[in-house]
Amino acid sequence: NHYKLWLNYYPIENTIIKNSIVKHFNNIQVLNNDATIDIIKKELNIASAGFINRDVKFNTPNSETGLLIGTLDKLPNNIAQRLDGEFKSHEGFAIFQHNNTIVITALSTVGLLYGTYNLLENIGANYPLTGVKNFSEPLIQHRILNHWDNLNGTVERGYSGASIFNWHTLPDYIDQRYIDYARANASIGINGTVLTNVNSNATILTGTYLQKVKALANVFRPFGIKVYLSARFSAPIELGKLKTADPLNADVQQWWANKINEIYDSIPDFGGFVVKANSEGQPGPQDYNRTHADGANMLAKILLPKKGIVMWRAFVYSHEQNEDRHKQAYNEFTKLDGQFLPNVMVQVKNGAIDFMPREPFHPLFGAMPKTPLMLELQITQEYLGQATTLAYLAPMYKEVLDSDTYAEGKGSTIGKLLHNQKLNGIAGVANIGADINWTGHLFGQSNWFAFGKQSWNYNASPKEIADTWLKLTFKASDNFYQDISKIMLNSREAVVKYSNPLGLHHLMGTGHHYGPEPWANYLPREDWNPTYYHKADSFDIGFNRTKTGSNALSQYKPEVQQQWQNEDSIDLKYLLWFHHVNWNKKLNTGRTLWNELCYQYQSGCDDVKNMITTWQKYKNELDMPTFNHVNMLLNIQYKEAVWWRNSSTLYFQTFSKLPFPQFLEKSD
């Protein structure tokens, strides 16, 4: 049923590898002792039972050590000297061989835990142990899941069942799921979790609920995972019965100081707050004519001595402003650059609109050099077919992280800019729920996995991540791994093609965001209507964001503007994001815009069909429930793709008045 995620520890069949594991697991020396070490030992036991069907043995007298696990200060000198490289982070780890012993070392026991998971992952993916060598440190400090979970068990934009957090039975009942959740996160380097929705009410900050949060924090702590909460800005009114939540008001400041003290009394390593303020109707400092910096700093000042942080979201836009939504966050925040306290990160979505299948990078990246930014990615597939769609997101994350902002000259990629900040982080909106396989679609697990890997190392290759995940998830043939890896790597592009080709965006059903509704124009807010984004008329289609249009393009550095300002030379993937283009324009593909659009929709459908054919090749290799699960979902996805293609092309044809190209006429 895939409840175990990537921690299956399938039996090792290769006898050479198996024998070597037996040898190493036969005498494990562990030099430290704390709650994290207990977890390491338990995990080694679980893994050993799975891999070789034996118990591990610790500290076997007079026998050769097979695996030595200890922080650097505890290692014998002659072994410690073997370490090449110096740890910069307490979370980094090194694995190397010393004589016949494999050594895992780090500065902290959490580093040892990461090292242990890394070793087990390599075994699970069938990499030989001999000569093992790995020195790994996170390039990003805060690798945080954002749960959009509500206290009543619902999950905003969650498609895999109810929230895994059962606030009714907490704090006394500790569900095994909490432990398994922590194991899964720790195994991929995730070190923080925001338990509550950005659109939360203030209830989570009441004493009763804080006790429940404390219980979860106690479970997560030895796994190296800190707990964070969303802070509703008006909590002093709702809970404190004050008349205002003005951040400059002394009573308000005192209320938050007391509340934060109360939290730290229960959770001494509490991570801090994420805040959605003055965004989509949420309260915030602007209600009192204060700035986002005033609001963030009020909380940050209290959190600073406690080492807590504030993740202040930049997802702000307002329909009252007669301004392209794309430009609003930039306009709002760049003027505040340098005004935030050092423990504030401004949390910015990867693109300026909202987690579309493809967006150019958010112009705020590189535009606030004096303010640490935090990247917010979405793991849950709100706009990518939700849980009935196979869309492997690592290539999308990589595209974002590799985007060159040119902020400090060529090569100023988002990944590098984040890394160079003194304080940095990446947030991922979780796709986790109480479904038996956690993520609804089995392949949703790969996105959780990839998020962890890529927020640890933004250079990690999507292909390698997919290959590893496949081996840890399915027991199957090499052909299966190769074919399915190809499917995964192409899958997000397929979604782009059949739903939002050539830079079109925000064409999904309004409200629920599932399926096509490019014709919708009935919502009270213009900027929630798809017609606002595609702007199709009888001559052209697309959003002109150049000088002659909204000029959102001017928010990017000149080198980036140059790449995108000309409709003849812009990468076609962003064409209609920035340009309003004539239906008959000849593109560099040799097709007219209209024909190219039809071609993209068709090609996306063809891709899904190929995914089905490939998957079906492996019917006999997989257990039936797993085969059927993915097979049925792929068939649903094909229907969705065809639905997107048919409705979109028919709708856009009412503007273009052009005939369908032959390949579309012939399609099913």
Sign of torsion, CA 451 452 455 458? negative
CB of 199 to ligand GCU, least distance (A): 5
Q: Is 262 a residue of the active site?
A: no
Residue 288: CB atoms within 10 A of its CB come to: 17
Site for ligand GCU in 594-633 (CB under 6 A): none
354, 402, 606, 621: which one contacts ligand GCU (CB under 6 A)? 354
CB of 498 to ligand GCU, least distance (A): 21
323 binds ligand GCU (CB under 6 A): no
CB nearer to ligand GCU: pick between 274 and 642? 274
Going from the C-alpha of 64 to that of each of 40, 101, 104, 276, 557, the distances in angstroms are: 20, 8, 16, 56, 60
Nearest to 413 by CA among 354, 458, 356: 458
523 binds ligand GCU (CB under 6 A): no
Helix (H) or strand (E) holding 466: helix 462-473
CB nearer to ligand GCU: pick between 91 and 382? 382
Residue with tokens 């207990």: 38
Structure tokens at 21: 């594991």
Size of the site for ligand GCU (CB under 6 A): 9
Residue 18: CB atoms within 10 A of its CB come to: 16
CB of 350 to ligand GCU, least distance (A): 12
CB nearer to ligand GCU: pick between 183 and 349? 349
Q: How far apart are CA 568 and CA 15, in angstroms?
A: 58
CB of 494 to ligand GCU, least distance (A): 23
Residue 269: CB atoms within 10 A of its CB come to: 13
What does the per-residue mask of binding to ligand GCU show for 104-143, with x meaning CB under 6 A?
A: ----------------------------------------
What does the per-residue mask of binding to ligand GCU show for 298-317, with x meaning CB under 6 A?
A: -----------------x--
CB nearer to ligand GCU: pick between 350 and 544? 350
Structure tokens at 636: 């649903």
276 binds ligand GCU (CB under 6 A): yes
Nearest to 178 by CA among 141, 229, 214, 231: 214
Listing DSSP states for 534-571 in one string gives H---SSEES---STTTT-GGGGS-HHHHHHHS-TTTS-
Selecting among 382, 467, 567, 596, the annotated active-site residue is 382
198 binds ligand GCU (CB under 6 A): yes
What is the spatial order of strands in the sheet that 101-106 belongs to? 28-30, 67-69, 101-106, 93-98, 134-136
Contact predicate 198/157, CB 8 Å: no
CB nearer to ligand GCU: pick between 275 and 309? 275
Q: How far apart are CA 589 and CA 577, in angstroms?
A: 18
156 binds ligand GCU (CB under 6 A): yes
CB of 520 to ligand GCU, least distance (A): 15
Sequence-distant (≥ 6) Cβ neighbours of residue 39 within 8 angstroms? 113, 183, 186, 222, 223
157 binds ligand GCU (CB under 6 A): yes
Instruction: Spell out the long-range contacts of 131-134 with Cβ–Cβ below 8 A and sequence spacing 24 or more.
Output: 131/97, 132/95, 132/96, 132/97, 132/102, 133/95, 133/96, 133/97, 134/93, 134/94, 134/95, 134/96
Contact predicate 461/489, CB 8 Å: no
CB of 182 to ligand GCU, least distance (A): 25
Sign of torsion, CA 185 186 192 196? positive
CB nearer to ligand GCU: pick between 240 and 530? 530
CB of 80 to ligand GCU, least distance (A): 46
Residue type for position 186: A
126, 199, 318, 582: which one contacts ligand GCU (CB under 6 A)? 199
CB nearer to ligand GCU: pick between 50 and 385? 385
Q: How far apart are CA 498 and CA 604, in angstroms?
A: 5
Site for ligand GCU in 475-504 (CB under 6 A): none
Selecting among 280, 408, 526, 559, the annotated active-site residue is 280
The SS3 call for residue 437 is coil
Residue with tokens 């840890």: 472
CB nearer to ligand GCU: pick between 184 and 275? 275
CB of 444 to ligand GCU, least distance (A): 18
Going from the C-alpha of 20 to that of each of 14, 41, 70, 398, the distances in angstroms are: 10, 19, 21, 35
Nearest to 605 by CA among 575, 584, 634: 634
Q: 582: buried, middle or exposed (CB in 10 Å: 19+, 13-18, 0-12)?
A: middle
CB of 269 to ligand GCU, least distance (A): 27
Contact predicate 533/504, CB 8 Å: yes
Q: Cis before residue 363, ω within 30 degrees of 0?
A: no
Q: 235: buried, middle or exposed (CB in 10 Å: 19+, 13-18, 0-12)?
A: buried
CB of 149 to ligand GCU, least distance (A): 12
CB nearer to ligand GCU: pick between 281 and 590? 281
Q: Is 280 a residue of the active site?
A: yes
Q: How far apart are CA 415 and CA 404, in angstroms?
A: 9
Site for ligand GCU in 360-389 (CB under 6 A): 382
Contact predicate 108/71, CB 8 Å: yes
201 binds ligand GCU (CB under 6 A): no
Q: Is 665 a residue of the active site?
A: no
CB nearer to ligand GCU: pick between 186 and 430? 430
CB nearer to ligand GCU: pick between 119 and 427? 427
Structure tokens at 86: 């110096």
CB of 485 to ligand GCU, least distance (A): 31
Selecting among 287, 323, 354, 606, the annotated active-site residue is 354
Structure tokens at 15: 């006898």
CB nearer to ligand GCU: pick between 277 and 299? 277
Q: Which residues bind ligand GCU (CB under 6 A)?
A: 156-157, 198-199, 276, 280, 315, 354, 382
> Catalytic positions, please?
280, 354, 382
